[in-house]
């Protein structure tokens, strides 16, 4: 059985992504560490939330997709009402998917991958 993680570090996330075959690059944006990666041609960013010395207890995945056609607000609102840990946002000509991942309470390394 795998050890239970109570927090995650940026390096652990990079290792997890690379072991799954994804590229992963760490970047510093002002005071925040981010990981940039991609899956099936879609770029995404991992943001780190609540932190302590050992690591972070929550992260968020964010993926922006450029829209070619308008999306009705009702479609986005309906999608958001049906989901608890993810949401869609319309930002200009971009549709942004954000998914929150809670590490607090414990997860396995396999669950993160």
Phi/psi zone of residue 84: left (φ > 0), alpha (ψ -120 to 50 degrees), beta? alpha
* pTM of the predicted protein model: 0.85
pLDDT of residue 28: 87
The larger pLDDT score, comparing residue 73 to residue 2, is at 73
Within 8 A by CB and 6+ apart from 85, the residues are: 99, 100, 101, 102
- pLDDT (tens digit per residue) in 6-64: 899 999 999 999 998 999 999 988 888 899 999 999 999 999 987 777 899 999 999 99
Give the C-alpha distances (Å, rounded to integers) separating 62 from 4, 26, 88. 25, 15, 10
Please say if the pLDDT value at position 90 is more than 60.
yes
């Amino acid at each position: 059985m795998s050890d239970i993680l109570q927090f995650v570090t940026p390096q652990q996330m990079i290792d997890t992504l690379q072991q799954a075959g994804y590229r992963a690059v760490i970047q510093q944006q002002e005071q925040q560490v981010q990981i940039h990666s991609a899956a099936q041609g879609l770029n995404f960013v991992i943001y780190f939330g609540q932190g302590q010395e050992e690591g972070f207890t929550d992260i968020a995945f964010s993926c922006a997709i450029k829209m070619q056609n308008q999306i009705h607000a009702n479609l986005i609102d309906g999608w958001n009402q049906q989901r608890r840990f993810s949401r869609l946002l319309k930002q200009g000509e971009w549709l942004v998917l954000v998914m929150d991942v809670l590490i607090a309470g414990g997860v396995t390394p396999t669950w993160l991958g």
